[in-house]
């Protein structure tokens, strides 16, 4: 077979990009080796030169990766669809503001994003890590090697094509076999798939980079921990690592929180947290990181817990890699709504986890004995003891979440030995996780409040015991009172929840008291107290918005189906709204007012009126506009985006949960249309007739009709036929006006529907022939008119107002040498309505021509025949379209399904702002602590 000479391909970016890809990998390898040598020879002369080779290698690694990312952006912006990555994530109609989102939509791009942040952090470490530079950078280079291998795209020469990674520089034709590649000009023919419409919003622009910076930043404490173990300086690393870890805690936390905010604000998940495996596995490393931070604080203050600090920093990073494995290997498949598609990288990902897990555990185990710890054990009355208990509780929480979340992994492993093993799943994830994590919340909230009043290395507790107990007693009493107050607002219906409520209130009051009264807002205490205060608020927010979340979209009057064994909770999450018909639900009057389409988005305007429960008077009115996003083919819904009305106290969350099928499925809509039985009726203007269900009265033909789907263009000939319908059953009367437009050679029909009557009416095309007569059938009358004089025709008064030279008109194309004038005629009917006509007369060469004017509303045709220069009069001829006696064809279908409704879901989230406030305070507290530790 001959090699095809493809045309239109741009191969050079791919060649350079792949070259840089390999260079970046090799440089990371060299860097790891040089830093290792630098570390080994740190006490002799060779060390410095090895280290400087390492620094240079890392700079080369960093720059080549950055340029490679630049090249990927270049081919994406230029839409070089011959590249698989471009074809899969970009399309012609993708707005430029989503180019970043498109870049990290795919696995390759998000691996690069991860590497990018490691490089940024690495550059800072090169400058700031001081004597820790060589061992820290050694580990970072190793991490970069593993991630780099995911996008390397190199085949090993032995075995059957062992592939290492998937390169984003691959050509489409190398990735898949398709008949299209037999054509040399295939590049012109293909188009991009584009960014998943679900991901086309600003959250996709800000959430991934933040989360990946969070991921990347956990590598730094890991590198420091490994450096501590390698050098044997078990004390020295504790101080420089601390601000890095605090930074990581703040950013990773913010990244996770943004995910929750995205789910809540822009997706129709109906909440900010759903215990989805992907969410869980980003939360777990953060919890372990918090445990590590507490141990780090203990270790720097007292010397206890150094081993735990090591363990937790190592675990944090390994768990980040594990979470990457879960989301990217496809193992979650069935249990998560947001995992990546598989790429065949499972083995590499497993190697990534196992390498760092075994290396970390091995180093820790072999150094265990050498890690210093005070001989005397922590006293029960010391701060370090209770802080450590807190860290243990966090670990405990992580173990529980990880185990439940890892069931798919357990199933996969068991299936290796037992191919027919079916696999188990958590039956009801949300209650399952809530049930256990509730206790974690209680413990942490109580500990975070109480331990504030204890001191590190307390040796004189008997002296302060009374003071401590009195303080604690007062706080407990206050908290109890606070809990009773809060319980008026938050309905905590089970004793476990009441206990959690108490713990939350306790955390808020005790930390507030500690911060303001005990520490007098001193900077040194600000960070931890702020974070713990935030945690208290978070607990209250979770309880309020989670426990008391209420579906208000239910109407108790709606008839229920005959399943009576289910509780009220199972019913009434959705209500049906007909357009323009107000509906009562839970203290609100809700109306679906209208919908508008722009681009692929269809927005619905929903009006809420809050009613006073006693008087029924309207207290407040607001409008929400949830929307749905259609796919490019306009036949399916890609995303349903909620709209939320925010109060300080609560949120009202609204989204469209269903639409008429005819609106979302074009085939079905066509089927429905085809299945309608239209009956043809023929009646003249102002006549009446009956259909099976309705009495119909025909109005007079409207020559300038309006229809919501019709946008008039110059030159259109439109007719509408007003109809009055009276229901035989109810006597209700409604009117409608189907219309028809003749635009050049096209015929456009605009049927009209009365949804309440289930009736659809359209005008068949015969009406055009019957209505717009041929010119020669018209019966013209000739007149001579003087300027400002009038004539009478069929009851119309026609006044010749003036002459316009060089007229412009749609039907008249002027040529060089034309002599053209138009007569401006004022038309007036018996009722006094006025219109203007502008027939044109022109001389071209030796011939004279006239262009008639047709005035649709009056049905008058006017011609400008000639000018009499002697008398200053003009000759015009006038005719009128005849409509009397014409039988108008009308097609009517009855029993048509309604399509003017939406199914709406509305949820009330009380106190959700406490959740956001609490979470933001926690992150701020971490940042404040970071600045404190940088000093």
Q: Which residues bind other proteins (CB under 8 A)?
A: 87-88, 172, 176, 178, 180, 188-193, 196, 334, 341, 377-378, 380, 385, 388-389, 392, 395-396, 399-400, 403-404, 407, 422-428, 432, 436, 558-561, 563, 565-566, 570-576, 632-633, 636-637, 640, 657-658, 664-665, 898, 901, 903, 905
- Spatial distance between the Cα atoms of 757 and 728, rounded to a whole number of angstroms: 11
Least distance (Å) from other proteins to the CB of residue 200? 14
Reference 148, options 327, 22, 337; nearest CA is 22
Least distance (Å) from other proteins to the CB of residue 134? 35
Q: 451 or 483: whose CB is closer to other proteins?
A: 451
Do 751 and 739 contact (CB within 8 A), yes or no? no
Q: 107 or 144: whose CB is closer to other proteins?
A: 107
Do 640 and 268 contact (CB within 8 A), yes or no? yes
Q: 592 or 916: whose CB is closer to other proteins?
A: 592
Q: 378 or 651: whose CB is closer to other proteins?
A: 378
Least distance (Å) from other proteins to the CB of residue 907? 13
Q: 682 or 756: whose CB is closer to other proteins?
A: 756
Strand 162-164 with 746-750, pairing: unpaired
Task: Write down the H helix ranges in 545-637.
Answer: none
Do 228 and 309 contact (CB within 8 A), yes or no? no
Least distance (Å) from other proteins to the CB of residue 426? 6
> Residue for token digits 């789910």?
263
Element (H, E) at 460: none
Least distance (Å) from other proteins to the CB of residue 319? 17
Least distance (Å) from other proteins to the CB of residue 8? 12
**Which residues, including other chains, have CB under 8 Å from residue 673's CB and lie 6 or more apart?**
none
- Spatial distance between the Cα atoms of 912 and 509, rounded to a whole number of angstroms: 20
Least distance (Å) from other proteins to the CB of residue 491? 22
Reference 783, options 842, 865, 859, 856; nearest CA is 865
> Residue for token digits 């008997």?
462
204: its two tokens:
């996709």
Q: 494 or 819: whose CB is closer to other proteins?
A: 494
Element (H, E) at 485: helix 461-489
Q: 399 or 680: whose CB is closer to other proteins?
A: 399
- Spatial distance between the Cα atoms of 347 and 421, rounded to a whole number of angstroms: 22
Least distance (Å) from other proteins to the CB of residue 659? 8
**Which residues, including other chains, have CB under 8 Å from residue 374's CB and lie 6 or more apart?**
302, 303, 304
Least distance (Å) from other proteins to the CB of residue 422? 5
How many CA atoms are closer than 13 Å to the CA of 59, on its beta-carbon side? 8
Q: 670 or 866: whose CB is closer to other proteins?
A: 670
Q: Tell me how far CA of residue 202 lies from CA of 208, 259, 261, in angstroms.
A: 11, 12, 12
Q: 403 or 735: whose CB is closer to other proteins?
A: 403
- Spatial distance between the Cα atoms of 625 and 606, rounded to a whole number of angstroms: 6
Residues in the chain: 935
Least distance (Å) from other proteins to the CB of residue 124? 36
**End-to-end CA, the chain:** 70
**Which residues, including other chains, have CB under 8 Å from residue 382's CB and lie 6 or more apart?**
302, 454, 455, 456, 457, 458, 461
Q: 341 or 675: whose CB is closer to other proteins?
A: 341
810: its two tokens:
């749609």
Q: What DSSP character marks residue 566?
A: S
Q: 382 or 929: whose CB is closer to other proteins?
A: 382
Q: 351 or 558: whose CB is closer to other proteins?
A: 558
- Spatial distance between the Cα atoms of 905 and 914, rounded to a whole number of angstroms: 23
Q: 395 or 552: whose CB is closer to other proteins?
A: 395
Give the phi and the psi of residue 461 in degrees, each rounded to 5: -55, -40
Least distance (Å) from other proteins to the CB of residue 2? 23
Least distance (Å) from other proteins to the CB of residue 520? 33
DSSP string across 162-188: EEE---TT-BHHHH---GGGGSTTHHH
Least distance (Å) from other proteins to the CB of residue 556? 13
Do 901 and 513 contact (CB within 8 A), yes or no? no
Which residues partner with 147 through β-bridges? Answer: none
Please list, residue by residue across 594-628, b when 16 or more beta carbons sit within 10 angstroms of its beta carbon and e when fewer do: ebeeeebebbbebbbbebeeeeeeeeeeeebebbb
User: Exposed, middle or buried, 63 (CB in 10 Å: 0-12/13-18/19+)?
Assistant: middle
Element (H, E) at 642: none
**Which residues, including other chains, have CB under 8 Å from residue 350's CB and lie 6 or more apart?**
325
Q: 266 or 778: whose CB is closer to other proteins?
A: 266
432: its two tokens:
């399952």
Least distance (Å) from other proteins to the CB of residue 553? 9
Do 737 and 722 contact (CB within 8 A), yes or no? yes
Least distance (Å) from other proteins to the CB of residue 204? 14
Q: 403 or 781: whose CB is closer to other proteins?
A: 403
Least distance (Å) from other proteins to the CB of residue 849? 43
Least distance (Å) from other proteins to the CB of residue 764? 29
Q: Tell me how far CA of residue 896 lies from CA of 195, 675, 691, 890, in angstroms.
A: 38, 10, 14, 16
Question: Given CA atoms 99, 100, 102, 107 in this order, what sign does their dihedral have?
Answer: positive
Q: 549 or 933: whose CB is closer to other proteins?
A: 549
Q: 479 or 657: whose CB is closer to other proteins?
A: 657
- Spatial distance between the Cα atoms of 184 and 3, rounded to a whole number of angstroms: 10
Q: 231 or 899: whose CB is closer to other proteins?
A: 899
Least distance (Å) from other proteins to the CB of residue 727? 18
């Amino acid at each position: 077979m001959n090699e095809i000479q493809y045309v239109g391909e741009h191969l050079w970016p791919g060649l350079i990009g792949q070259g840089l890809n390999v260079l970046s990998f090799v440089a990371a390898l060299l860097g790891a080796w040089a830093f290792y040598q630098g570390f080994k020879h740190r006490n002799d002369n060779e060390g410095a030169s090895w280290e400087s080779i390492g620094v240079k290698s890392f700079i080369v690694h960093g720059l080549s990766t950055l340029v490679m990312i630049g090249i990927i952006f270049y081919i994406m912006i230029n839409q070089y669809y011959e590249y698989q990555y471009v074809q899969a994530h970009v399309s012609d109609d993708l707005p430029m503001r989503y180019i970043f989102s498109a870049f990290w939509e795919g696995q390759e791009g998000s691996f690069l994003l991860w590497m990018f942040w490691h490089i940024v952090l690495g550059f800072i470490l090169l400058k700031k890590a001081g004597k820790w530079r060589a061992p820290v950078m050694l580990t970072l280079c190793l991490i970069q090697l593993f991630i780099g291998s995911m996008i390397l795209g190199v085949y090993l020469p032995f075995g059957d094509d062992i592939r290492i990674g998937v390169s984003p520089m691959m050509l489409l034709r190398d990735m898949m076999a398709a008949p299209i590649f037999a054509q040399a000009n295939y590049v012109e023919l293909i188009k991009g798939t584009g960014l998943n419409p679900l991901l086309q919003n600003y959250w996709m622009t800000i959430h991934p980079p933040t989360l990946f910076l969070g991921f990347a930043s956990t590598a730094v404490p890991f590198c420091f921990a490994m450096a501590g173990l390698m050098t044997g300086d078990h004390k020295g690393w504790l101080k420089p690592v601390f601000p890095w870890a605090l930074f990581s805690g703040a950013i990773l936390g913010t990244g996770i929180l943004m995910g929750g905010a995205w789910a809540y604000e822009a997706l129709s998940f109906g909440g900010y947290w759903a215990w989805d495996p992907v969410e869980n596995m980003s939360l777990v490393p953060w919890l372990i990181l918090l445990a590590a931070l507490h141990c780090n604080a203990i270790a720097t203050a007292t010397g206890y817990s150094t081993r735990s600090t090591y363990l937790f920093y190592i675990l944090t990073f390994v768990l980040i890699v594990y979470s990457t494995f879960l989301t990217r290997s496809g193992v979650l498949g069935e249990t998560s709504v947001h995992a990546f598609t598989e790429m065949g990288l499972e083995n590499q990902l497993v190697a990534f986890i196992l390498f760092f897990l075994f290396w970390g555990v091995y180093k820790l185990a072999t150094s265990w004995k050498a890690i210093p710890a005070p001989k005397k054990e922590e006293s029960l009355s010391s701060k370090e003891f209770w802080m450590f208990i807190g860290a243990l509780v966090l670990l405990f929480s992580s173990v529980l979440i990880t185990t439940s979340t890892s069931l798919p992994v357990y199933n996969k492993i068991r299936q290796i030995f037992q191919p027919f093993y079916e696999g188990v799943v958590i039956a009801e994830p949300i209650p399952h996780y809530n049930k256990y994590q509730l206790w974690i919340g209680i413990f942490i909230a109580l500990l975070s409040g109480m331990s504030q009043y204890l001191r590190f290395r307390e040796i004189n507790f008997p002296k302060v015991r009374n003071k401590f107990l009195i303080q604690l007693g007062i706080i407990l009493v206050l908290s109890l009172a606070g809990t009773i107050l809060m319980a008026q607002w938050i309905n905590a219906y089970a004793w476990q929840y009441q206990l959690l409520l108490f713990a939350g209130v306790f955390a808020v009051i005790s930390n507030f008291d500690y911060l303001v009264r005990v520490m007098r807002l001193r900077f040194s205490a600000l960070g931890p107290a702020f974070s713990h205060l935030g945690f208290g608020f978070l607990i209250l927010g979770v309880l309020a918005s989670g426990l008391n979340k209420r579906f208000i979209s239910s109407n108790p009057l709606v008839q229920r189906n005959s399943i009576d064994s289910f509780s009220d909770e199972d019913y009434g999450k959705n209500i049906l709204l007909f357009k323009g018909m107000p509906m009562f639900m839970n203290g609100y009057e809700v109306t679906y007012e209208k919908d508008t389409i722009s681009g692929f988005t269809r927005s619905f305007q929903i009006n809420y009126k809050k009613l006073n429960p006693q008087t029924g008077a309207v207290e407040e009115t607001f409008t929400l506009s949830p929307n749905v996003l259609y796919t490019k083919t306009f036949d399916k819904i890609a995303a349903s985006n909620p709209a939320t009305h925010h109060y300080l106290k609560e949120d009202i969350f609204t989204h469209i949960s269903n639409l008429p099928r005819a609106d979302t499925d074009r085939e079905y809509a066509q089927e429905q249309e085809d299945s309608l039985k239209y009956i043809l009726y023929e009646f003249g203007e102002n006549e009446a007739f009956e259909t099976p269900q309705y009495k119909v009265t025909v109005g007079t033909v409207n020559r300038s009709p309006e229809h919501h789907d019709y946008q008039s263009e110059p030159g259109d000939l439109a007719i509408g036929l007003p109809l009055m319908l009276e229901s035989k059953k109810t006597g209700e009367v409604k009117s409608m006006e189907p219309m028809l437009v003749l635009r050049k050679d096209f015929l456009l029909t605009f049927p009209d529907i009365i949804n309440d009557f289930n009736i659809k009416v359209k005008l068949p095309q015969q009406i055009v022939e019957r209505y717009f007569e041929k010119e020669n059938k018209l019966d013209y009358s000739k007149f001579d008119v003087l300027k400002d004089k009038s004539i009478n025709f069929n009851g119309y008064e026609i006044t010749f107002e003036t002459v316009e030279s060089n007229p412009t008109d749609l039907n008249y194309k002027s040529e060089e040498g034309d002599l053209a004038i138009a007569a401006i005629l004022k038309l007036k009917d018996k009722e006094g309505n006025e219109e203007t006509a502008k027939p044109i007369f022109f001389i071209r060469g030796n011939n004279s021509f006239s262009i008639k004017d047709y005035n649709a509303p009056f049905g008058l045709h006017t011609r400008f025949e000639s000018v009499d220069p002697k008398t200053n009069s003009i000759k015009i001829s006038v005719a009128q379209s005849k409509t009397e006696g014409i039988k108008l064809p009308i097609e009517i279908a009855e029993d048509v399904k309604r399509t003017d409704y939406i199914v709406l879901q509305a949820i009330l989230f009380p106190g959700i702002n406490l959740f956001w406030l609490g979470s933001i305070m926690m992150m701020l507290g971490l940042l404040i602590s970071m600045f404190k530790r940088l000093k």
